[in-house]
């Protein structure tokens, strides 16, 4: 149980375009969703925390206008990278709090901006 | 300050050797949870263990074992008789007892098991 399905697994987009990453909780209700970014050979960096029905709370240094997070329902949270540039290329991971396990993670999205 | 330190950036051992990954944490909370996750090259995080601050019993799961010592704020992870499939990056994490229960992540230890 407690599965988060993240799509797409990988995406290549042109500089200046926007990309949407979706995370769906398949068998539970995700009240809180965390969005992480991971650069090669580095740890996970928390970008923002979103609670269903509320605006996301962004970590210091994360541009909220560039990384739009929507958590409009208990089963869907999205991250949209707007006007993407090569420096936005990274591995993005969503995670939801789960009562017993603690946390469950999406499989990640590898974004490459060319 | 709340912090997790994994001082070993990379460890390389030959298959069948035992290996221990260190994790030291700092927190002012008296109630907290510690986690270990495995991240293979595919990138997907694999949950290994969760331990709460009141349970200092060591845990063994097959070839994996964990040593939790509050006195030294450490939560070390040992793989016995390592296998090539154990090659991955391993992360230790601490959750904050704030309203959102954020995770504080260590830098990770890359484990390479050579055949």
Instruction: List the single residue in B43, B47, B91 with the smallest CB-CB distance to A108.
Output: B43
pLDDT in tens, B61-79: 999 999 999 999 999 999 9
Contacts of A102 in chain B (CB under 8 A): 33, 35, 47, 50, 95
Task: Name the percent of chain B lying above pLDDT 90.
Answer: 81
Block residue for tokens 């970008």: A47
CB contact under 8 A, B101 and A44: no
Tens digit of pLDDT for each residue in B25-68? 999 888 899 999 999 999 999 999 999 999 888 889 999 999 99
- What pLDDT, on the 0 to 100 scale, is given for residue A101? 67
Closest Cα of chain A to B93: distance in Å? 10
The whole-number pLDDT of residue B101 equals: 82
Percent of chain A with pLDDT over 90: 80
Q: In chain B, which residues have their Cβ closer than 8 Å to the Cβ of A101?
A: 47, 50
Please indicate whether, in this complex, the C-beta atoms of A49 and B47 are within 8 angstroms of each other: no
Q: In the prediction, which pLDDT does B41 show?
A: 93
């Amino acid at each position: 149980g407690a599965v988060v399905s993240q799509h797409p697994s990988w995406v290549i987009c042109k500089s200046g375009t926007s990309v949407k990453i979706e995370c769906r909780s398949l068998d539970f209700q995700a009240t809180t969703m965390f969005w992480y970014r991971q650069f090669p050979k580095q740890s996970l960096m928390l970008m923002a925390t979103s609670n269903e029905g509320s605006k996301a709370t962004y970590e210091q240094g994360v541009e909220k206008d560039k990384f739009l997070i929507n958590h409009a329902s208990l089963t869907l949270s999205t991250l949209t990278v707007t006007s993407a540039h090569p420096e936005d290329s990274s591995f993005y991971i969503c995670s939801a709090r789960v009562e017993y396990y603690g946390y469950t993670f999406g499989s990640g999205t590898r974004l490459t901006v060319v | 300050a709340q912090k997790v330190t994994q001082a070993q950036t990379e460890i390389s051992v030959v298959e069948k050797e035992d290996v221990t990954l260190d994790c030291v944490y700092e927190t002012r909370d008296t109630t907290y949870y510690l986690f270990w996750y495995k991240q293979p090259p595919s990138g997907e995080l694999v949950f290994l263990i969760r331990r709460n601050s009141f349970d200092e019993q060591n845990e063994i799961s097959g070839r994996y074992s964990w040593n939790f010592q509050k006195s030294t704020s450490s939560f070390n992870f040992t793989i016995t008789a390592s296998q090539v499939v154990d090659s991955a990056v391993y992360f230790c994490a601490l959750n904050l007892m704030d309203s959102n229960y954020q995770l504080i992540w260590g830098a990770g230890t890359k484990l390479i098991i050579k055949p």
